[in-house]
Amino acid sequence: MEFLTDLGRVVPVEIQRRKGTRHLRLRLGKLNQIVASVPWRTSDRMIEGFIHEQRAWIENQLANTPEAIGLYEWLRMHPRIAASGESLELRIKTTPRKRSHYFFDRDGLELVFCLPEITETPLRRLVRVFARDTLTCRTYYHAKRLGLSPGRLSVRDQSSRWGSCSSSRSLSLNWRLVLIAPELQDYVILHELAHISEMNHSHRFWELLDRYDPHRVDHEAELDRVSAEIMRVGRG
């Protein structure tokens, strides 16, 4: 199923049929496709009618949502990476070695990604490796400083969340945290570390996070501002 915008753009429609769902709902997916969540036995004709009724909403969402973009294209336009509380210049080059690797140059001011070929897949893999390394170091740096003992840490490719903390104190962080400003990266890490002590978003949680990050309100606002764009990087 497809949706044709007023400007002639063809947008795919992904239909998710769910048992137990009573209402039809629409949202934009990570590739800016229309995702229709519908009751199990909903007919295609009913879905098409619902989408037609929501045309104005869909047009507005598409007009105000950033496009998905490849990681290489993003780094070419924004050649900086956040690590260890700093924003580092990034250089990407080819290497005769078969395996990708990275190193720091210019006394740690520049990060160099070395790839057998500069294409999207090896670049994405290397960035994921680097994100795992640097986010692990940064998380345990803050944990030690705050006297906390987090459990296992994983770095993943979440579609909309920056991070999470489980009841067993295991943390999960989005690899795209290396693409945002260092202070915003720290905010997300501190947010998840605060959940070790307070699992919900209670008043006590926000008081604790205010102690961890005195500028958390500003950081939340800035993170909200950039999230829609950054979350679509690496999906083009």
User: Using 50, 70 and 90 to split pLDDT, how confident is the model at 229?
Assistant: very high
Q: In this structure, is residue 200 part of a structural domain?
A: yes
pLDDT at 236: 65
Measured between alpha carbons, how far is 209 from 77 in angstroms, rounded to an integer? 33
- Which of 199, 59, 83 is CA-nearest to residue 141? 83
| 206 & 171 share domain | yes
User: What pTM, to 2 d.p., does this model score?
Assistant: 0.82
The sheet with strand 86-94 has its strands ordered as 80-83, 86-94, 110-115, 101-105
Average pLDDT over residues 209-229: 96
pLDDT digits (tens, 9 = 90+) for 76-113: 999 999 999 999 999 999 999 889 999 999 998 999 99
Same domain flag for 205 and 116 = yes
Average pLDDT over residues 15-36: 89
- How confident is the prediction for the chain on average, in pLDDT? 94
Identify whether residues 217 and 158 lie together within a single domain: yes
Residue 235 lies in a domain: no
Task: Please give the share of the chain, as a percent, with pLDDT higher than 70.
Answer: 100
Pair 78, 131 in one domain? yes
Q: What is the pLDDT of residues 58-73, one digit of tens each?
A: 999 888 888 889 999 9
Q: Which helix (H) or strand (E) holds 92?
A: strand 86-94
What's the domain count of the chain? 2
Residues 76 and 102 in one domain: yes
Does 100 map to a domain?
A: yes
